[in-house]
């Protein structure tokens, strides 16, 4: 077997060392990027809001909203702008509703009424906007991004 002395014998290990040194900063940068991505995921923890029940209350439709903040920080205030659409898709009522305060890692139920609107006429509830979101470093925009609407009723609920 021939000996690997001379230029050829030193060149191959030198190339391998250079390749390792070049790859190391790229791997370190990739690791830092994934750490940043992981931390941004924790900042955007879901805030689940479920249209849980609709029931007649005189001339109004009583609405039960389940606010699941079981994975997020406390919110002093969470005020949302809602539109109720009829089963034909026509906007019927607009309502600003305070769903807060919501403690950290807590789920709460909030009730409110759509006055003058019968429950069977509600085909869809739209989370039009977040009007106020206070607590920690929360903003209207970050709260809106975190909200995951769901429904247990025949009416759709979305944003």
- pLDDT tens for the chain, 159 residues: list them: 555 555 555 555 555 544 454 554 444 444 444 444 444 444 568 999 999 999 999 999 999 999 999 988 899 999 999 999 999 999 999 999 999 999 999 999 999 999 999 999 999 999 999 999 998 888 899 999 999 999 999 999 999
- d(CA 147, CA 44) in angstroms, rounded, equals 9
* Model confidence, pTM: 0.71
Return the structure tokens found at 149: 């609407």
Q: Token digits for 155? A: 């009416």
Residue 103 tokens read as 């403690």
């Amino acid at each position: 077997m021939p000996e690997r002395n001379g230029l050829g014998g030193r060149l191959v290990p030198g190339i391998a060392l250079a390749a390792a040194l070049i790859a190391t900063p790229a791997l370190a940068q990739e690791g830092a990027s994934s750490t940043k991505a992981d931390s941004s995921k924790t900042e955007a923890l879901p805030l689940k809001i479920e249209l849980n029940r609709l029931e007649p209350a005189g001339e109004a439709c009583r609405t039960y909203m389940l606010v699941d903040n079981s994975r997020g920080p406390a919110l002093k205030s969470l005020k949302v702008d809602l539109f109720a659409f009829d089963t034909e898709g026509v906007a019927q009522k607009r309502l600003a509703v305070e769903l807060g305060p919501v403690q950290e890692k807590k789920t709460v139920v909030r009730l409110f009424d759509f006055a003058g609107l019968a429950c069977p006429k509600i085909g869809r509830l739209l989370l039009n906007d977040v009007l106020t979101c206070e607590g920690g470093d929360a903003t209207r925009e970050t709260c809106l991004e975190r909200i995951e609407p769901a429904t247990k009723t025949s009416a759709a609920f979305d944003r």
